[in-house]
Amino acid sequence: MEARDLLPDYLLGQLEPEEARRLEEQLERSPELRAELEALRAALFRLPDQLAPVTPPPRAWQGIQARTRRGRGVPWPWVTGIAAGLALVFASFGLYEWQALRALRAEQAKVAHWLSEPEGKWRAIKNARGEGVGTMIWLEDGGCLIVMKDPAPEGKVYQAWGRKGDKPVSLGVFRGRVYETRFEGFERMGVSLEPPGGSAQPTEPLGSVSVS
């Protein structure tokens, strides 16, 4: 049997391994045979065109997105950079401040947990001068973590805000550097400095990021 007669069987995976190997050797040597194979392949893979397309459920694409992003992973330089930053912060507090250290360790654990989330998105929170004052991390499930560069100054607290349209909505106050909240329903998330107890409106906005 001539090699070209074997091409349909080869495309359909019907040849014995030894037969397939011999045909592949001939394909290597013959551009005409390769062209014939590709023409037959093109015809064979037109078969699915006879089927009416069916819209997959939306979750199918979301699943693909999650898996391709997981494959990319979190960039390690960022992880090590932030971890190193936290280590410096630890050092500056001193071991005798046991309670503070425990709080910081809890923060570090929380940050490490969030950084390990493959679907996490993050963006720097910058002030009006373009200086980074913190980082916002958010997940597809609606969770959001705010990590500030420094603790709130003496006599002040941070206040988290969500904004949809013109109306800011308070999401709570915090004194430490790390604060966990939720972002769903908002277009922007921001942080301001406020007197203890917080304010009805942001009085000293520090910066905000788009999360839509």
Partner 1 sequence: MEPDSDLIRQVAQGDETALEELYRRYGGKVYALLLHVLGGREEAEEVLQDSFVQLYKEARRYDPQRGGVSTFLFTIARNLALSRLRARRARPQKVLDHDLHDPEQELGLWHEHDPTDRVLVQRALAQLAPEDRRLLEESFYWGYSHSELAERHAMPLGTVKTRVRRALLRLREFLEGRVREGGE
Given the rule CB under 8 A, which residues bind partner 1?
5, 8-9, 11-14, 38-61, 63-65, 67-69, 71-72
What's the maximum distance between 2 C-alpha atoms anywhere in the chain? 91
CB of 183 to partner 1, least distance (A): 21
Indicate the residue among 48 and 153 with the shorter CB distance to partner 1: 48
Indicate the residue among 56 and 132 with the shorter CB distance to partner 1: 56
Indicate the residue among 20 and 193 with the shorter CB distance to partner 1: 20
DSSP state of 153: P
Q: Please report how many Cα atoms fall inside a 13 Å half-sphere around the Cα of residue 16, on the Cβ side.
A: 2
* Cα 8 from Cα 38, distance rounded (Å): 11
CB of 44 to partner 1, least distance (A): 6
Give just the sign of the alpha carbon dihedral 5, 10, 14, 16: positive
Indicate the residue among 61 and 93 with the shorter CB distance to partner 1: 61
CB-based contacts of 81, cutoff 8 Å, min separation 6: none
CB of 136 to partner 1, least distance (A): 21
